[in-house]
Chains A and B, each alone.
Chain A
């Protein structure tokens, strides 16, 4: 049943597959994000309590849920790498870490800029905000470990262990608004069945969310390809590919 997946265990096949889907994904991401963001900024109705400051929601919520989603993906990759010694999953985990860190930073920053007019403060040490900040530090630790060793396998192992230990933070972030008293409001979108949002606010959100997911996939694909090359630099297929690419660049310069 899963046999069609087997060729993608080969780094060369994965490298070329990722290269092939990048243009399609980026075109779709640009389309969805431009529709979603223009809709969110200019056409969605203002919130009856929060007014137009609510438009920050369209970046803040996708960024925050992606920061956790990317971490979850990275943890799955780290797990497969540690258990089955699967080299490509190390490469993908290393590709995901900087993207996740960026989205965590965006979630924290937009949260602060939304908190200032709504709560009267940029920052407060409550459960949701603090656990999201810890997520950022986990990402930074994983990135540092990936770069700390000359031997990429050893680096992947160390970073993988940190990633798996840090998974405990994900449910804490997710349920912090229910477990503890916090300034942060509860979830509005992911309530099963009935999201407590009006439809004309929900549609632009879905466009933005899907657009950000596609953008994340594009950047992860780009980084995944560099990780594959760096980890297989002595293989003949990488050598021929590199000399071809440089020859092409030189031809373009002339």
Chain B
């Protein structure tokens, strides 16, 4: 240990403000970077899931519409042949 007491450690030989400012800002920036990286990963996953849900719904609607149109067509053609 290079310091005699805890207050000497905080004071850093008179340079305490600059030393702790540097370490504090560096730590804050790195923590923010890490947190945003993790949350953006989660957001990407959620976005893909949402898009998949939307596409599945669209596909279902299209299928229903297609089958309805087919029914309509077959009934119409039946009418024509009658």
Query: Which residues of A does B touch, CB under 8 Å?
Result: 37, 41-46, 51-53, 55-56, 59-60, 63, 98-99, 102, 105-106, 109-110, 113-114, 116-117, 215, 219, 222-223, 225-226, 229-230, 233, 238-239, 242-243, 245-246
CB A173 to nearest CB in B, in angstroms, measures: 19
| Residues A230 and B44 in contact, CB atoms below 8 Å apart | yes
Question: Residues of B contacting A98 with CB < 8 Å?
Answer: 33, 37
Q: Which B-chain residue is minimally distant from A55 (CB atoms)?
A: B19
With A46-B13, A51-B15, A243-B49 known as contacts, the answer to whether A63 contacts B26 (CB < 8 A) is: yes
- The answer to whether the Cβ of B71 comes within 8 Å of any Cβ in the partner chain is no
Distance of A247 Cα from B18 Cα, bound (Å): 48
Distance of A223 Cα from B35 Cα, bound (Å): 11
CB B40 to nearest CB in A, in angstroms, measures: 6
Q: Which A-chain residue is minimally distant from B23 (CB atoms)?
A: A59
- The answer to whether the Cβ of B61 comes within 8 Å of any Cβ in the partner chain is no
Number of interface residues of B (CB under 8 A): 31
A-B contact pairs, 28 of them (CB 8 A): A37-B23, A43-B2, A45-B2, A46-B2, A52-B19, A53-B12, A55-B19, A56-B22, A59-B23, A60-B22, A102-B30, A105-B29, A109-B25, A109-B29, A110-B26, A113-B21, A222-B34, A222-B38, A226-B37, A226-B41, A226-B44, A229-B41, A230-B48, A233-B48, A239-B48, A242-B49, A243-B49, A246-B49
| Residues A117 and B49 in contact, CB atoms below 8 Å apart | no
| Residues A52 and B26 in contact, CB atoms below 8 Å apart | no
Main secondary structure of the interface of B (DSSP, over half): helix
Question: Residues of B contacting A116 with CB < 8 Å?
Answer: 18
| Residues B13 and A245 in contact, CB atoms below 8 Å apart | no
Question: Residues of A contacting B40 with CB < 8 Å?
Answer: 223, 226
| Residues B19 and A53 in contact, CB atoms below 8 Å apart | yes
- 6 other contacts beyond A109-B25, A243-B49, with CB at 8 A cut-off? A113-B22, A117-B18, A225-B41, A230-B44, A230-B48, A239-B52
**Which of B14, B34, B44, B46 interacts with A51 by CB under 8 Å?**
B14
With A59-B23, A238-B48, A243-B49 known as contacts, the answer to whether A114 contacts B38 (CB < 8 A) is: no
Top-10 shortest CB links A-B: A53-B15, A52-B13, A52-B12, A110-B22, A226-B41, A113-B22, A222-B37, A51-B13, A226-B44, A56-B22
Question: Residues of B contacting A233 with CB < 8 Å?
Answer: 47-48, 51
- The answer to whether the Cβ of B45 comes within 8 Å of any Cβ in the partner chain is yes
Question: Residues of B contacting A225 with CB < 8 Å?
Answer: 41
CB A147 to nearest CB in B, in angstroms, measures: 12
Question: Residues of A contacting B1 with CB < 8 Å?
Answer: 42-43
Q: Which B-chain residue is minimally distant from A59 (CB atoms)?
A: B26
| Residues A59 and B22 in contact, CB atoms below 8 Å apart | yes
Which B1-17 residues sit within 8 Å CB-CB of chain A? 1-3, 9, 12-15
**Which of B15, B26, B37 interacts with A223 by CB under 8 Å?**
B37
